[in-house]
């Protein structure tokens, strides 16, 4: 069952207001994380349609709401503004005047054409932090559409995902959007810290492509520093062995053996201690060079028992191992480990924020809003301050 959390008086970002013009995933995910930490987020949406993810279904929850939208929009208020009209743009400026941060992921130049670009707003509001999220940057790639699948393809991620000789495969979630959202939230926090010290706001720019290239970590470094263009290895690792999935008596088992001590323990548990002294497998580079022979030797023994059996005995011996779970089993696993993976937000089950702070923990104050739910609250109260 989802855990229900009491709301502390204040979060780390209490008093920070974010005018969120972003939609779909990278921007909304970033602003939701900041909202969990106490920021007040006002989500600006198009009248009638709203964020595209409102219509991305199935699946839906019990109330018929897109679960994709629910994934990135809790702790926010929703206002609808038609930015193509003078009234809509005037209301946007009113909102921005009372905000600390602006987040947007329109194509580069769109907000400038509306009179809401970073240069104009920073000149008018020097303390403002303006975060622009793009697909491919503001220059030569400005006109390219920033879809996660496209960036996974052209950014190299698909080239290293999939079976050797097989078709390139995308990650099972919009991983580039998520990583970009994390980078955006990091940039916003750094800019707010700078403003705390100097009183000076700034422009924060994050792109999907740049975020992916950074997130390729060892694969990117192997190319940049070593000139190696990696290919697809399925579930195997280019630099570590055994570090992949193996067949057992019933379902796949992941082994993540990161050093020689762990490999010796694995060999002993499998009843093959001599493998650790075999010149082909003695060190990690040896094992990487003879991955196929190693896999055959290990799988012969692993097939004798179930994945559950190995997942019990191997970790007990210090060998990292676990079954390939479905998402349902993954949440059940987290519960068994005592991790608060699911929370209830006013009756809406949500995946918990994974950042745990002892003094100012994440809070869950509002469920994802209905489209335009708070427009009157902001623009017909005579204050425009949402209070």
Distance CA 367, CA 303 (A): 47
Find how far residue 250's CA is from the centre of its chain: 32
Distance CA 376, CA 386 (A): 9
Task: Mark whether 82 is an active-site residue.
Answer: no
| DSSP string across 296-364 | HHHHHHHTTS-HHHHHHHHHHTT--EEE---HHHHHHHHHHTT---EEEETTEEEEPPS---SSS----
Selecting among 177, 250, 328, 376, the annotated active-site residue is 177
Q: Tell me if 255 sits within 8 A of 246, measured CB to CB.
A: yes
Q: Which of 349, 157, 322 is nearest to 251 (CA)?
A: 322
Q: Tell me if 97 sits within 8 A of 116, measured CB to CB.
A: no
The residues that are catalytic are: 177
């Amino acid at each position: 069952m989802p855990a229900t959390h009491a709301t502390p008086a204040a979060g780390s970002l209490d008093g920070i207001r974010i005018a969120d013009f972003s939609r779909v995933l990278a921007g909304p995910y970033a602003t939701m994380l900041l909202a969990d930490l106490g920021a007040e987020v006002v989500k600006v949406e198009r009248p009638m349609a709203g964020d595209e993810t409102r219509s991305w279904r199935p699946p839906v929850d019990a109330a018929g709401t897109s679960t994709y939208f629910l994934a990135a929009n809790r702790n926010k208020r929703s206002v609808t503004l038609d930015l193509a009209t003078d009234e809509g743009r005037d209301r946007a400026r009113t909102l921005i005047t009372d905000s600390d941060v602006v987040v947007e992921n329109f194509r580069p130049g769109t907000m400038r054409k509306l009179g809401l670009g970073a240069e104009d707003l920073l000149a008018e509001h020097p303390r403002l932090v303006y975060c622009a999220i793009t697909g491919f940057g503001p220059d030569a790639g400005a006109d390219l559409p920033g879809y996660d699948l496209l960036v996974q393809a052209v950014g190299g991620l698909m080239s290293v995902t999939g079976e050797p000789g097989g078709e390139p495969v995308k990650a099972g979630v919009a991983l580039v959007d998520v990583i970009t959202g994390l980078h955006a939230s990091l940039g916003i926090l750094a800019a707010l810290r700078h403003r705390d010290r100097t009183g000076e706001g700034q422009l924060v720019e994050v792109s999907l492509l740049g975020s992916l290239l950074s997130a390729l970590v060892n694969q990117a470094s192997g190319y940049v520093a070593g000139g190696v263009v990696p290919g697809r290895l399925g579930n195997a690792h280019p630099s570590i062995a055994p570090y992949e999935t193996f067949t057992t008596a019933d379902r796949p088992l992941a082994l993540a053996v990161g050093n020689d001590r762990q490999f010796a323990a694995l060999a002993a548990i499998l009843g093959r201690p001599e493998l650790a002294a075999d010149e082909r497998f003695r060190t990690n580079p040896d094992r990487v060079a003879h991955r196929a022979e190693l896999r055959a030797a290990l799988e012969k023994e692993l097939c004798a028992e179930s994945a559950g059996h190995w997942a019990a005995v191997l970790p007990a011996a210090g060998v990292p191992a676990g079954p390939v779970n479905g998402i349902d089993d993954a949440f059940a696993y987290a519960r068994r480990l005592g991790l608060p993976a699911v929370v209830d937000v006013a009756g809406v089950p949500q995946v918990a924020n994974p950042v745990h702070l002892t003094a100012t923990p994440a809070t869950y104050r509002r469920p994802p809003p209905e489209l335009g739910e708070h427009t009157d609250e902001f623009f017909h109260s005579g204050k425009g301050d949402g209070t």
